[in-house]
Structure 1
């Protein structure tokens, strides 16, 4: 092929790229990379753990979540599901999975149903956050937003400071949201009565961060679905969540080792 023909071919390729832009990076872009980090410490009784797992399965099977994914700017997300407890226990239950429609969402939910739930001692929220940060660096995609979703029923009781872990994650542009589980009244050493305030003041952080407390078993699935939709769609916080901001702040060090360090979890 002579230079004249090569020049014409190059011109046509350039024109085609302008008329029909296709950036290879678009194939690896997602609206959000989401780490679902779920507490399986022994303070969670088996029924609560089942409710938690089933709530996430139901969320990814729900049309509302499918619509939220489809209506995103890109129309797909990447998500992984991790169970955690003590500082040395973080278990990937479903690895990073691209969800871009009904079938992939249902496959993710089915993956959750096929793995037994662990029960391990202690509660290291800081360990879960640190592990989530590592996972977010291994997605292989370009995410418009990066989110770690922490659910649990107690304060940080092992590992390093949860505030230090949170602040380092936020400094990397990561948002941490929370689902404090408050189904039982505090009854022993290490229990925390206002876990929602602890999550609000000591755990969550980053742009648009929020918490949705769960206080009734029948509200578990709906709370998880609402949280997932909010994280996918980056919706603003509503008045239900903002109400707690009128109360006095929680004392983070109290639930971060120190007096609240105990072994039964």
Structure 2
């Protein structure tokens, strides 16, 4: 029989073992959602409702059931500047419709809080940190970035992307080609191309552009199905390319912010 001291030590050691650390999932998916000030309150609401509807949709549930392990792990956080990352859903297992509905209910239970600046690189860094802490073993690790403007603060977005890809993480993008918030003067017309050139990376990475908020729920649903099932893309999905014929300025967001520093700065 163990002595009280040895028994207490064993209890401490057991408590240090991550719960369910050996459980496999098909994908560990980080959902990183833009809440910078270029987003209007109405757009923030549409985002929450769109993600909730997509996660609980029959199409997403079917994609989860078609996987080898028939379960996924997700976490959801909202981001703006490189010091603003608000976790809404911590790592959660989804393997049934009830699991998905519970996650959707948690998203709908609260509201988003906008913040200054746009740091896609900060969102990628936060996503990497969350993946380091995932309590499951995944076949794939994915950071899913949605946003309506280019990076204008923090680490260069290509450096953050390349670091994530070097660590085996795929980054997909949902560029929002919309206007609405007080910082929309920081937006660019070819945000979809910016995401394809500067943000996404890794095997099978892709971009799903959103040109109108009416498209948002369907775009999120289609993107989740692709990410969960690792399916081939369909219409309106832009795959990453290894080579491009023309160069692209991935510092465009930083340059726009620098040019506008003399003005009253609402900073998206």
Do both proteins adopt the same fold according to a TM-score greater than 0.5, normalized to the shorter chain? yes
* 2:39 partner SS: coil
State the alpha-carbon separation in 2 of the partners of residues 232 and 41 from structure 1.
27
Report the Cα offset of residue 167 of structure 1.
Answer: 0.2
State the alpha-carbon separation in 2 of the partners of residues 176 and 102 from structure 1.
26
Report the Cα offset of residue 240 of structure 1.
Answer: 2.7
Matched, 1:230 2:226: yes
State the alpha-carbon separation in 1 of the partners of residues 247 and 218 from structure 2.
27
Query: Which of 102, 106, 113 pairs up with 1:107?
Result: 102
- In structure 2, runs of 5+ residues without a counterpart are 1-19
* Structure 2 equivalent of residue 210 of structure 1: 206
Q: Is the 8 A contact 1:185 1:193 kept in 2?
A: no
- In structure 1, runs of 5+ residues without a counterpart are 1-24
* Structure 1 equivalent of residue 63 of structure 2: 68
Q: Is the 8 A contact 2:207 2:240 kept in 1?
A: no
* Structure 2 equivalent of residue 259 of structure 1: 256
Q: Is the 8 A contact 2:200 2:206 kept in 1?
A: yes
State the alpha-carbon separation in 1 of the partners of residues 227 and 240 from structure 2.
20
Report the Cα offset of residue 242 of structure 1.
Answer: 3.8
* 2:237 partner SS: helix
Query: Which of 167, 170, 174 pairs up with 2:165?
Result: 170
Matches within 5 A, 1:20-169: 28-169=23-164
Q: Is the 8 A contact 1:29 1:74 kept in 2?
A: yes
Q: Is the 8 A contact 1:94 1:108 kept in 2?
A: yes
Tell me: CA distance 1:193–1:68, structure 2 relative to 1, closer, same or farther (3 Å): same
Tell me: CA distance 1:203–1:37, structure 2 relative to 1, closer, same or farther (3 Å): same
Q: TM-score, normalization: structure 1?
A: 0.85
State the alpha-carbon separation in 1 of the partners of residues 213 and 189 from structure 2.
17
Structure (1 or 2) with the larger CA radius of gyration = 1
* 2:113 partner SS: coil
Report the Cα offset of residue 114 of structure 1.
Answer: 1.2
Report the Cα offset of residue 260 of structure 1.
Answer: 3.7
4+ aligned runs moved over 6 Å, structure 1: 185-188, 243-247
State the alpha-carbon separation in 1 of the partners of residues 159 and 240 from structure 2.
23
Q: Is the 8 A contact 1:212 1:241 kept in 2?
A: yes
* Structure 2 equivalent of residue 198 of structure 1: 194
RMSD value over aligned CA atoms? 2.4
Q: Which has the higher helix share?
A: 1
Tell me: CA distance 1:242–1:115, structure 2 relative to 1, closer, same or farther (3 Å): closer
Tell me: CA distance 1:243–1:199, structure 2 relative to 1, closer, same or farther (3 Å): closer
* Structure 2 equivalent of residue 12 of structure 1: none
* Structure 1 equivalent of residue 14 of structure 2: none
